[in-house]
């Protein structure tokens, strides 16, 4: 139904879109925001609070934006963030303002890929850290021959600095993950060089994702030491990060980068025994730090309960066969996520009648409750200690002190 009141705003919208089409002359450049301009990762604070932690900025991208603006190029930020969830200091608009970055507009795709929006905006050059966005743009270019756009990864122009972030990953069942180098075949801790403008905790998070194909959370700083390799002395920042994957689930999840030949997961004792003298100094440092701070960081090893072993495979067999004739459940939606739920739904994993109760069940529940209480008391005590040891990397997600003066080099001294 036609509404006269809608005529003016609709007219303005069409005029704006017309203007955007008119600038399709190679002078529209677009930038993703998260981990392209500003870096951040999902982490936990010293108090156990789930946060997004600030990870630094891409200095080269910020320089590029300034140069494009100076040359008269139209610059847009296109982000997959949900516009309805933007608020406070962490919003794209406020962060750009605090960083002193001037752009001509901010566009949100609310979780969708950016290709269609980039086509509508007439972008001829786009910077994005997400490989999925690159693939999506490539696909749309095949559908729209006039979509002439070049896509680049933001870190391609970034420069490494003489600092490294290294660490060890702890699995959900309390084992430790290390890697083997493909050049010297020495066993090494996971990580690498910091990129200029990057914070050390983010560098460890990024390197773990790039080298192993997994994401870590609850990144704890262990210590910073001066290390010498090939005659060059540099600060080495050591961390420990956690993964929700158990040691039995790693095989199907790890995707080793070409720089790595293999990986090993085990107890600290097993790692020392396997590596012997064939380990880098960085791995030796990391292992010693983890060993010293294991209790403080709540890294004490625990064995997997029987129901946790091979959980993904079991869940795939039980409920991941929607539509299969063998299940007798035609039309069920196929399950794609086989990770262990934080709390399983009633009846999951058991074949007994729902109302059937046995003394054995009651005893197990009682023991579990006692263990949970002990764990809570231990965790509470551990957190109070950890608060003192969190060091310079214990800040919350948006700590803007770096904008008000010289930023910390992440040394941790």
CATH number of domain containing 219: 3.90.79.10
Regarding whether 171 and 296 lie in a shared domain, the answer is: yes
Q: What is the pLDDT of residue 15?
A: 53
Regarding whether 202 and 106 lie in a shared domain, the answer is: no
Query: What kind and span of H or E run contains 31?
Result: strand 28-31
Cβ(396)–Cβ(51) below 8 Å: yes
Regarding whether 182 and 141 lie in a shared domain, the answer is: no
Residue 312 belongs to some domain of the structure: no
Rg from Cα positions in the chain: 25
Could you tell me how far CA 327 lies from the centroid of its own chain? 36
Residue 402 belongs to some domain of the structure: no
Q: Of the given ranges (17-26, 31-40, 122-131, 297-306), which has the lowest mean pLDDT?
A: 17-26
Q: Is 391 exposed, middle or buried (0-12, 13-18, 19+ CB in 10 A)?
A: middle
Q: Name all contacts of 40-43 with Cβ < 8 Å and 24+ positions apart.
A: 40/202, 40/397, 41/201, 41/202, 41/205, 41/206, 41/215, 41/217, 41/219, 42/215, 42/217, 43/201, 43/205, 43/217, 43/218, 43/219, 43/397
Q: What is the pLDDT of residue 228?
A: 81
Structure-model confidence comparison of residues 131 and 395, the more confident one: 131
Helices (H), 165-321: 200-212, 250-253, 268-275, 281-293, 311-319
pLDDT band (50, 70, 90) for residue 369: low
pLDDT 10s digits, 42-86 = 887 667 777 778 899 999 999 999 999 999 999 999 999 999 888
The sign one gets for the Cα dihedral 95, 99, 100, 105 is: negative
- Helix-, strand-, coil-residue percentages of the chain, each rounded to 5: 40, 25, 40
Residue 374 belongs to some domain of the structure: no
Mean pLDDT, the chain, whole residue set: 76
pLDDT band (50, 70, 90) for residue 366: very low
Regarding whether 289 and 198 lie in a shared domain, the answer is: yes
Q: What is the pLDDT of residue 12?
A: 52
Regarding whether 210 and 84 lie in a shared domain, the answer is: no
Q: Identify the top-confidence range among 8-12, 50-54, 90-94.
A: 90-94
pLDDT 10s digits, 135-147 = 999 999 999 999 9
pLDDT band (50, 70, 90) for residue 284: very high
Across the strands, what pairs with 178?
Answer: 264
Regarding whether 190 and 145 lie in a shared domain, the answer is: no
Q: Identify the top-confidence range among 22-31, 287-296, 379-388.
A: 287-296
Regarding whether 241 and 219 lie in a shared domain, the answer is: yes
No. of helices (H) and no. of strands (E), the chain? 11, 14
Regarding whether 294 and 168 lie in a shared domain, the answer is: yes
CATH number of domain containing 65: 3.40.50
Q: What is the pLDDT of residue 229?
A: 74
Q: In a 3-state reduction of DSSP, which class is residue 351? A: coil
Mean per-residue pLDDT for 146-169? 93
Query: Last residue of a domain, which of 104, 137, 156?
Result: 156
Q: Could you tell me the residue range of the domain that residue 108 belongs to?
A: 15-156
Query: Last residue of a domain, which of 303, 332, 352?
Result: 303
Q: Is 283 exposed, middle or buried (0-12, 13-18, 19+ CB in 10 A)?
A: buried
- pLDDT at residue 347 is higher than 70: no
- pLDDT at residue 318 is higher than 60: no
Count other C-beta atoms under 10 Å from residue 322's C-beta. 13
Query: Last residue of a domain, which of 284, 303, 322?
Result: 303
pLDDT 10s digits, 237-249 = 999 999 999 999 9
pLDDT band (50, 70, 90) for residue 311: very low
Mean per-residue pLDDT for 196-203? 94
- pLDDT at residue 165 is higher than 60: yes
> 109: number of CA atoms within 13 Å, CB side?
18
pLDDT band (50, 70, 90) for residue 26: low
- pLDDT at residue 320 is higher than 60: no
Q: What is the pLDDT of residue 278?
A: 96
Q: Of the given ranges (35-49, 73-87, 203-217), which has the lowest mean pLDDT?
A: 35-49
Cβ(89)–Cβ(403) below 8 Å: no
**Alpha-carbon distance 345 to 297, whole Å?**
31
Q: What is the pLDDT of residue 296?
A: 77
Regarding whether 171 and 100 lie in a shared domain, the answer is: no
- pLDDT at residue 209 is higher than 60: yes
Domains in the chain: how many in total?
2
Regarding whether 202 and 130 lie in a shared domain, the answer is: no
Count other C-beta atoms under 10 Å from residue 157's C-beta. 14
Regarding whether 286 and 185 lie in a shared domain, the answer is: yes
- pLDDT at residue 353 is higher than 70: no
- pLDDT at residue 363 is higher than 70: no
Regarding whether 176 and 63 lie in a shared domain, the answer is: no
Cβ(199)–Cβ(163) below 8 Å: no
Closest CA to 211 of 239, 190, 196, 241: 190
Residue 355 belongs to some domain of the structure: no
Q: What is the pLDDT of residue 108?
A: 97
Q: What is the pLDDT of residue 46?
A: 64
Residue 33 belongs to some domain of the structure: yes
> 104: number of CA atoms within 13 Å, CB side?
18
Residue 35 belongs to some domain of the structure: yes
pLDDT band (50, 70, 90) for residue 89: confident
Residue 309 belongs to some domain of the structure: no
Q: What is the pLDDT of residue 345?
A: 34
Structure-model confidence comparison of residues 234 and 401, the more confident one: 234
pLDDT band (50, 70, 90) for residue 268: very high
Residue 336 belongs to some domain of the structure: no
Closest CA to 160 of 129, 99, 206, 128: 206
Q: What is the pLDDT of residue 377?
A: 54
**Alpha-carbon distance 403 to 313, whole Å?**
48
Could you tell me how far CA 86 lies from the centroid of its own chain? 20
pLDDT band (50, 70, 90) for residue 373: low
**DSSP for residue 360:** H
């Amino acid at each position: 139904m036609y509404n006269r009141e809608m005529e003016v705003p609709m007219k303005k919208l069409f005029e704006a879109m017309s203007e955007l089409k008119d600038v399709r002359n190679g002078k529209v450049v677009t930038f993703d925001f998260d981990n392209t301009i500003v870096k951040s990762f999902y982490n936990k604070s010293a108090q156990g609070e789930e946060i997004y932690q600030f990870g630094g900025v891409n200095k080269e991208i910020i320089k590029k934006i300034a140069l494009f603006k100076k040359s008269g190029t139209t610059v847009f930020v296109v982000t997959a963030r949900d516009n309805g969830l933007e608020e406070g200091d962490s919003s794209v608009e406020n962060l750009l303002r605090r960083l002193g970055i001037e752009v001509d507009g901010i566009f949100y795709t609310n979780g969708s890929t950016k290709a269609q929006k980039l086509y509508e905006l007439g972008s001829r050059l786009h910077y994005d850290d997400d490989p999925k966005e690159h693939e999506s743009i490539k696909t749309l270019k095949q559908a729209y021959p006039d979509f002439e756009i070049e896509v680049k990864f933001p870190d391609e122009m970034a420069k490494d600095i003489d600092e490294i972030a290294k660490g060890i990953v702890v699995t959900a069942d309390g084992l430790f993950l290390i890697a083997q180098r493909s050049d010297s075949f020495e066993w090494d801790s996971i990580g690498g060089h910091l990129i200029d403008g990057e914070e050390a905790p983010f560098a460890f998070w990024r390197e773990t994702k790039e080298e192993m194909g997994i994401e870590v959370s609850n990144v704890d700083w262990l210590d910073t030491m001066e290390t010498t390799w090939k005659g060059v002395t540099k600060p080495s920042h050591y961390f420990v990060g956690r993964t929700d994957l158990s040691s039995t689930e790693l095989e199907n999840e790890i995707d080793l980068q070409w720089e790595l030949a293999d990986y090993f997961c085990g107890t600290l004792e097993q790692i020392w025994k396997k590596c012997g003298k064939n380990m880098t100094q960085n791995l030796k440092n990391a292992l010693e730090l983890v060993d010293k701070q294991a209790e403080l960081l709540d890294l004490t090893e625990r064995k997997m309960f029987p129901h946790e072993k091979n959980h993904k495979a079991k869940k795939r067999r039980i409920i991941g066969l929607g539509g299969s004739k063998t299940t007798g459940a035609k039309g069920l939606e196929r399950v794609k996520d086989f990770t262990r739920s934080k709390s399983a739904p009633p009846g999951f994993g058991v074949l007994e009648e729902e109302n059937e109760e046995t003394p054995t069940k009651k005893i197990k529940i009682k023991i579990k409750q006692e263990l949970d209480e002990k764990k809570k008391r231990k965790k509470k005590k551990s957190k109070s200690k950890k608060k003192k040891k969190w060091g310079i990397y214990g800040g919350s997600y948006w700590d803007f002190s770096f904008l008000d003066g010289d930023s910390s080099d992440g040394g941790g001294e």
